[in-house]
Structure 1
């Protein structure tokens, strides 16, 4: 009862102070879906798989087990342990707290973007709060839940800074917090967030500068790329092929044949990596497809990816047919981040189960980008 009351109180505070123009029921429906997803995730791993990261993390936090040579897991456990102690060792209540934190982050992102783009408010709501795999893999006691929450507050704060052309103190605080969490939980997402921001502000600066000074905008990207070389030694430019090849082989060895992607890095060279980019990009954007074999709940991912293909094709057709005005700085920056992850993740994790979980980091933004033009088209047709 104590924790139920506390979560309800926190939910009310979120509803009261993180307001949007959306009806109140959207907030409570989104919260219910997120909390339920965290519970369902636990049930699947406990009852069906009988093992998995979420169980291992909880047990390590509960039993104060030390994890060697896994700094990202150690950092996650430092955050998880106080919550486990507070909930008296309850997996399910701990899951509710983590799901709630994730929901508030997504709701804040929804608030910021819907204020900046009020005409697609409902579309943003669907992409952030309703699409099943996005809700599911950003809930419960998994690092992806925390990473997705950190990424969204970082990204929307950067977008708000870009749109307002000034950095607000709350946005600066959220950028620092989100960046810090990403750096220690999912450093490749931290690098992606930095590259997205660099491209966004570089292109914005390019438009504002006089022609003779535009070369200076390139320095923004150059400095960002140099900075990423110090994030993690395995993600330095000269080490990336080796890192991808080692992860690729390790995942393939642990995967059943039906779970493997047809992406195999035989050598740790850029030539080998580049030759597999087309297959990786296809997997990162559209797999598992309707033709792939997955467990029964894999149909959710398969249908979502099929819908994504349709939306992408419609967007391309509508762009050339209607000549819509595009915010190119934001579009190119977003595309760079999405494509980077859509290529690198399948190369390093050629396993359907792992891939669909990791893809969740960019799926809300990919769905949003692919849905904007079809959404505008159908809503305009409805008003004719």
Structure 2
């Protein structure tokens, strides 16, 4: 933390809070108003805490690399010549001729998903005098904008459980910690929030404005560009949501909807399998074989590093990444993503917080599952199109990260897109069965 952080960051916090109080009446109602500033505040806390943990506990890491070997170099280029900084921000895969000396020092150059973070952080560095923590709170605002859009959409969908929706979307600690600072996860989580908001606006509320379509397509592109596995996990559930929504209007019988919905889910997943095959034909990098091999290599590397540096790794049994092997890992992969590490698997303070959060989430899930009843619980999943969407996304996404991470530290970060949606789904099902929803 440098002198510019101590001077610039408080100024930015004051300006951003002033902006928040000005905009709050435009994006809240009497019921949601009370959550706006606290929701923004925990994002600021998360962004600053992330920086402090990486700076003083880990003594380096992704967020510091994006700053030291990305934004900081853009700032140096700006001091040399503003046009060089612009060239770096707008650069593609090829080194810009006028800023080659600077571009060659950026370790993320050529890695377009990672370089997306450098672009945003570098642009913000110019306006924050290259203060890491000022850049971080600006990232927090980006994250909060998407988070609030998600909260707004879900609160509109189920207004009678507003405080539980706020808890699920705004106040899960791991989400506002890992999803607020200078990381890919911040931009992808914000994109996810806007994606769901625009999808609900178009499909549920019939607001087919051009802006909603632009948001939907733009966020899909960002997710695909920055973290393709989020987009690939999201699309099956989104397609299913659209299909079931109109299907439920056409088929009035509740029994028939419950019976036919699982068939629709299987059909959508089967269609997405062939879509993935087609994607692989167009781009070998994203073929199923390549993605499975990437998952295997990533899992082995992360597990090795975790064992060497502190023992935060986990195993799902054998190292078989064939289709049969992956099928055996399906349930354990989903389970580890949602409900582990267990308390006895904790190896460091960060893992302890993750374990406590996982235990609380598991407690909510078990309570709702048995209180509602097995048949009614799954009946609500198949009956409500939005919950069907979130359920499919949860299962597909958790399996994908569970079988490819093998490190609890990384998993805590990777799983944040699914945490609010899974928690909201639990609350929705429980309170709907309790006849609280209107």
- Residues 296-375 of structure 1: matches in 2 within 5 Å? 296-320=349-373, 323=376, 326=380, 327-375=383-431
Gap change, CA 1:4 and 1:284, over 3 Å in 2: closer
Do structure 1's residue 237 and structure 2's residue 281 form an aligned pair?
Answer: no
Whether the aligned pair in 2 keeps the contact of 1:249 and 1:265 (CA below 8 Å) is: no
Whether the aligned pair in 1 keeps the contact of 2:198 and 2:216 (CA below 8 Å) is: yes
Q: Structure 1 CA distance, aligned partners of 2:146 and 2:175?
A: 13
Gap change, CA 1:233 and 1:330, over 3 Å in 2: farther
Q: What TM-score comes out, normalization by structure 1 length?
A: 0.88
Q: How many residues align?
A: 378
Whether the aligned pair in 1 keeps the contact of 2:32 and 2:162 (CA below 8 Å) is: no
Q: Structure 1 CA distance, aligned partners of 2:31 and 2:159?
A: 10
Q: Structure 2 CA distance, aligned partners of 1:379 and 1:318?
A: 13
Q: Structure 1 CA distance, aligned partners of 2:264 and 2:295?
A: 33
How many Å apart are 1:46 and its aligned residue? Answer: 0.2
The equivalent of 1:278 in structure 2 is 331
Which is worse superposed, 61-70 or 216-225? 216-225
Whether the aligned pair in 2 keeps the contact of 1:38 and 1:96 (CA below 8 Å) is: yes
Q: Structure 2 CA distance, aligned partners of 1:137 and 1:26?
A: 20
Aligned mate of 1:148, from 167, 172, 189:
189
Gap change, CA 1:139 and 1:355, over 3 Å in 2: same
Q: Structure 2 CA distance, aligned partners of 1:10 and 1:35?
A: 14
Q: Map Cα deviations across residues 123-149 of structure 1 (whole Å, 9 max, x no partner).
A: 111111112112111111111111111
Whether the aligned pair in 1 keeps the contact of 2:346 and 2:352 (CA below 8 Å) is: no
How many Å apart are 1:62 and its aligned residue? Answer: 1.1
Q: Structure 2 CA distance, aligned partners of 1:68 and 1:112?
A: 36
Whether the aligned pair in 1 keeps the contact of 2:117 and 2:182 (CA below 8 Å) is: no
The equivalent of 1:103 in structure 2 is 144
SS in 2 for 1:357: helix
Q: Map Cα deviations across residues 199-239 of structure 1 (whole Å, 9 max, x no partner).
A: 1122234334579xx99999876665544442864443343
Q: Map Cα deviations across residues 91-146 of structure 1 (whole Å, 9 max, x no partner).
A: 01000100011112211221122122111111111111112112111111111111
Gap change, CA 1:205 and 1:244, over 3 Å in 2: same
Do structure 1's residue 61 and structure 2's residue 71 form an aligned pair?
Answer: yes
Q: Structure 1 CA distance, aligned partners of 2:34 and 2:373?
A: 38
Which is worse superposed, 238-247 or 224-233? 224-233
The equivalent of 1:253 in structure 2 is 304
How many Å apart are 1:294 and its aligned residue? Answer: 3.2
Gap change, CA 1:296 and 1:93, over 3 Å in 2: same
Whether the aligned pair in 1 keeps the contact of 2:195 and 2:216 (CA below 8 Å) is: yes
Any unmatched runs of 5+ in structure 2?
A: 1-7, 75-104, 253-259
Whether the aligned pair in 2 keeps the contact of 1:38 and 1:136 (CA below 8 Å) is: yes
Q: Structure 2 CA distance, aligned partners of 1:179 and 1:218?
A: 23
Whether the aligned pair in 1 keeps the contact of 2:237 and 2:390 (CA below 8 Å) is: yes
CA RMSD of aligned residues (A): 2.9
Q: What TM-score comes out, normalization by structure 2 length?
A: 0.78
Q: Structure 2 CA distance, aligned partners of 1:198 and 1:349?
A: 27
Q: Structure 2 CA distance, aligned partners of 1:255 and 1:3?
A: 37
- Residues 77-156 of structure 1: matches in 2 within 5 Å? 77-156=118-197
Q: Structure 2 CA distance, aligned partners of 1:365 and 1:342?
A: 12
Greater CA radius of gyration, 1 or 2? 2
Q: Structure 2 CA distance, aligned partners of 1:263 and 1:79?
A: 37
Do structure 1's residue 288 and structure 2's residue 288 form an aligned pair?
Answer: no
Q: Structure 2 CA distance, aligned partners of 1:173 and 1:267?
A: 42
Q: Map Cα deviations across residues 295-332 of structure 1 (whole Å, 9 max, x no partner).
A: 22333221221122222122222333895873432222
Which is worse superposed, 354-363 or 175-184? 175-184
- Residues 203-222 of structure 1: matches in 2 within 5 Å? 203-209=244-250
Q: Structure 1 CA distance, aligned partners of 2:142 and 2:295?
A: 32
